[in-house]
Amino acid sequence: MVRKPVTADLEDDRDALTAARRLLLVIEDDPAFATIVRDLSRELGFQCIVANTAQQALTLAQEHRPNAIVLDVGLPDQSGLTVLDRLKQDDQTRHIPIHVVSAADHTQTALALGAVGYLVKPVRREQLADVLRGLESKLTRGVRRVLVVEDDPVQRDAVRALLSSNDVETVGVGTAADCLAQLSGETFDCMVLDLTLPDASGYALLETLSAGEHAFPPVIVYTGHDLTPDEEQRLRRYSSSIIIKGAKSPERLLDEVSLFLHQVVAELPPEQQKMIRKARSRDAVLEGRRILIVEDDVRNVFSLTGILEPRGAVVQIARNGQEAIDALQQAEADPARAVDLVLMDVMMPVKDGLAATQEIRRDPRFRDLPIVMLTAKAMPDDQARCLAAGANDYMAKPIDVDKLLSLVRVWMPR
């Protein structure tokens, strides 16, 4: 679907901001819907500023540091999901609670990237009011509370020690029954769950919580077991974050929990800040994932490889569209070489990126394969041509490293 053109700027509060009232950033290019959210937020006590493009949103977020954000996905210049990712990758903005309200349903991806909630349009006014009240409640909450569900007392104490700080209280339990008892009478911002419990499996506990009789906070699965694809898919129904225990897992766990709790990284204890920086030196979303780079310019191949490989991705190269199609066909015979995502240049010899993408999409086996197209210049119709050919997204060269990584994280299969 081709994205809508940029709308005219909406009147907002940016020229009359005061420190006494909380600030909401609305990222939305539909002026009618943006007006509804703006007016409702003012009624509920927020000041409001409005951005109608991704670039304007990033600029306003950096300049004004809003207290909360309501975000649309279908922005005219790039996906709102990449905006979400870039805000959550930046230490200055990652703590801001972001609620997505969009016509397209990307709930699982948005929650995995750090959104606090997701509503699919059309939405009623009262639903929007509930979103804003929920954001307000997160802003007024003082100490955050984490429930650690782990049957090994040594591991449980280690996780509690890892996560505790001045504004984080941890509660540890060793059974599913104790977990349910805690959730019946207490409020928690996040839950860290081991899958092996003495009285029930982690899967059964999650299914019980999903029935709705107990509070169901965001869940980070923290397990020592390697998961089969079916087991992982089953867990993804309940949890947007799954961490396998290992040498680097404490850093990853701390990073994920701080994201779920909307903690300001600069305000964390120095050792926790150091661990979070270490966790980001390699990217958990890219670790071990195979990316096919389709590009005939060796300089661009070198640049893209230099960005992706140090962050844990496995890179495969094709020099034109036909080589890309051949590589995908060969990978189908060897699951170990299956391609997770394609970065496709547009202008290439033999077969260009648009023709290759169209051919790939005609094959049912590759219908859901993420394809991000790279264009040599940002012409007005480039985006429309790329999306019409079957690409998930596109970006113009020269490559912006942060934007590229956001696109890859957003579209990498989960």
Query: What digits encode the pLDDT tens for the residues 394-409?
Result: 888 888 888 899 999 9
Q: What are the pLDDT digits (tens) for 215-230?
A: 788 899 998 877 887 8
Q: Which pLDDT belongs to residue 342?
A: 97
pLDDT of residue 282: 66
- Residues 227 and 246 both lie in one domain: yes
Within a domain: 12: no
Answer whether residue 341 shows pLDDT above 60.
yes
Average pLDDT over residues 118-145: 89
**Rounded to an integer, what is the distance from CA 327 to the centroid of its chain?**
29
* H or E element, residue 209: helix 202-210
Same domain, 348 and 387: yes
In the block, residue with structure tokens 């844990």: 312
Partners of 244 in beta bridges: 223
Element (H, E) at 57: helix 54-64
Inform me whether the pLDDT recorded for 6 exceeds 70: no
pLDDT of res. 5: 42
Average pLDDT, the chain: 88
**pTM for this entry:** 0.80
Of 95, 121, 140, which one is at a domain's C-terminal end?
140
Nearest in space to 250 (alpha carbons), one of 152, 162, 149, 172:
162
Q: How many domains is the chain partitioned into structurally? A: 3
Q: Do 301 and 403 belong to one domain? A: yes
Beta bridge partners of 343: 293, 372
Q: Is the pLDDT of residue 147 over 70?
A: yes
**Residue 41 corresponds to which amino acid?**
S
Sole residue written with tokens 């969009």: 102
Residue 3 φ then ψ, to 5°: -75, 155
CATH number at residue 315: 3.40.50.2300
pLDDT one-digit tens code per residue, 275-327: 887 777 667 788 889 999 999 999 999 999 999 998 889 999 999 999 999 99
Residues 136 and 36 in one domain: yes
133 and 150 in a common domain? no
Same domain? 114 vs 186: no
User: Would 2 be classed as within a structural domain?
Assistant: no
Q: In this structure, is residue 148 part of a structural domain?
A: yes
- Residues 16-31 have a mean pLDDT of 92
Tell me: do 85 and 153 sit in the same domain: no
Residue 7: pLDDT band (50, 70, 90) is very low
pLDDT tens by residue, 36-88: 999 999 999 999 999 999 999 999 999 999 999 999 999 988 889 999 999 99
Give yes or no: residues 262 and 344 share one domain. no
Nearest Cα to 224, choosing from 247, 190, 199, 257?
Answer: 247
Confidence of residue 129 (pLDDT cuts 50, 70, 90): very high
Range from 169-183, 186-200, 267-281, 351-365 carrying the lowest mean pLDDT: 267-281
Q: What is the mean pLDDT of residues 176-198?
A: 92
Query: Does residue 149 sit in the same domain as residue 133?
Result: no
Could you tell me whether strands 241-244 and 290-294 are parallel, antiparallel, or unpaired per DSSP bridges?
unpaired
83 lies in the same domain as 95: yes
Residue 85 within any structural domain of the chain: yes
Judged against a pLDDT cut of 90, whether residue 138 lies above it is answered with no
Q: Which of 87, 86, 122 is nearest to 104 (CA)?
A: 122
- 2 band by pLDDT with thresholds 50, 70 and 90: very low
Radius of gyration of the chain (CA): 22
Determine whether 34 is exposed, middle or buried from the number of CB atoms within 10 Å of its CB (0-12, 13-18, 19+). Answer: buried
The token pair that represents 136 in the structure block? 């307000």
What is the mean pLDDT of the segment spanning 1-26? 76
Amino acid letter, residue 148: V
Domain-located, residue 10: no
Residue after which a domain boundary falls, among 140, 156, 187: 140
Question: Quick one: 368 and 385 in the same domain?
Answer: yes
The answer to whether residue 16 is domain-embedded is: no
At residue 8 the predicted structure's pLDDT band, cuts being 50, 70 and 90, is low
- Looking at residue 242, its pLDDT comes to 79
pLDDT per residue as tens digits for the range 354-379: 999 999 999 999 999 999 999 876 56
Provide the domain limits for residue 364: 290-411
Domain shared by 297 and 274, yes or no: no
The answer as to whether 69 is a domain residue is yes
Residue 90 has pLDDT above 80, yes or no: yes
Q: Is the pLDDT of residue 4 over 50?
A: no
Which residues, at least 6 apart from 276, have a Cβ–Cβ distance to it below 8 Å? 251, 254, 255, 258, 265, 268
The residue out of 248, 279, 310 marking a domain boundary is 279
What integer pLDDT is reported at residue 93 of this predicted model?
Answer: 93
Residue 5, domain member (yes or no): no
pLDDT at residue number 1? 40
Which is more confident, 156 or 140? 156
